Amino acid sequence: MRRNPVRARTDRAELYAVLDAGLVGHLGLTLPTGPLVLPTGYGRDGETLYLHGSSGAASLRAAASGVPVCFTVTHVDGIVYSRSAFHHSMNHRSAVVQGTARLVTDPDERRHGLAVLTEHLAPGSWEHSRQPDRKELAATAVLALDLTEASVKARTGPPGEDERDLETPSADWAGVLPLRTVWGEPEPCPLLPAGTPVPARVSSRG
């Protein structure tokens, strides 16, 4: 049998690459009603992930209360078409981080965490936008999650096929249909003065 199994990766560079290439992660925590998984913005500084959300959100308050959480970032890279239904698959990279989130309370670290988050979402934006005031800071919960318990899995390459399916082909095609995300044309805020140029940090975003 030809296999391209999902492989567990251990390299920190691979972990960082998967996290840094993502925009949204999925934060899982256990509430009295059961598990909850919510899309969550984030940013990475070394071995620390910063997450944030409304300080009024029940989920964020729960995550900040010292309970275990899981944060997962996934990229889908392609659809794997196989000669068998069974070996259809998805090329992907994913990072799974488990741990206990820490509510960031130190004012300097809160500001640092927000800068990391903003720069991850929109590189260059932190210094090009109005800094958060006291009220905005109070409305924002910043969490820190350590990357100690983190793992990466990835699947790449063509379909893994059974020999029997090569000998007696049952499908008209097999291979990979790649998938990628691309930026569109920047859409200026309608309230911007006409003719405001789009800065390179937006128009040339990698």
How far apart are CB 108 and its own copies at their closest, in Å? 16
Kindly write out the interface string for residues 168-197 of this chain, putting x where it contacts its own copies by CB under 8 A and - elsewhere.
--xxxxxxxxxxxxxxxxxxxxxxx---xx
Q: Taking CB under 8 A as the rule, does residue 167 contact its own copies?
A: no
How deeply is 63 buried, as exposed, middle or buried, from its count of CB atoms within 10 A (0-12, 13-18, 19+)? buried
Q: Cα angle vertex 52, ends 30, 189, to 5°? A: 130
Q: Taking CB under 8 A as the rule, does residue 35 contact its own copies?
A: yes
Of 126-155, binders to its own copies (CB under 8 A) are 126, 128-132, 136, 139-140
Q: Taking CB under 8 A as the rule, does residue 29 contact its own copies?
A: yes
How far apart are CB 47 and its own copies at their closest, in Å? 19
Q: Taking CB under 8 A as the rule, does residue 86 contact its own copies?
A: yes
Q: State how far the Cα of 86 lies from the Cα of 88, in Å rounded to an integer.
A: 6
Residues contacting residue 199 through CB under 8 Å, at least 6 positions apart: 124, 128
Q: Which of 26, 61, 102, 112 binds its own copies (CB under 8 A)?
A: 26
CA distances from 195 to 34, 188, 192, 200, 204 (A): 51, 10, 8, 15, 18
Q: Taking CB under 8 A as the rule, does residue 55 contact its own copies?
A: no
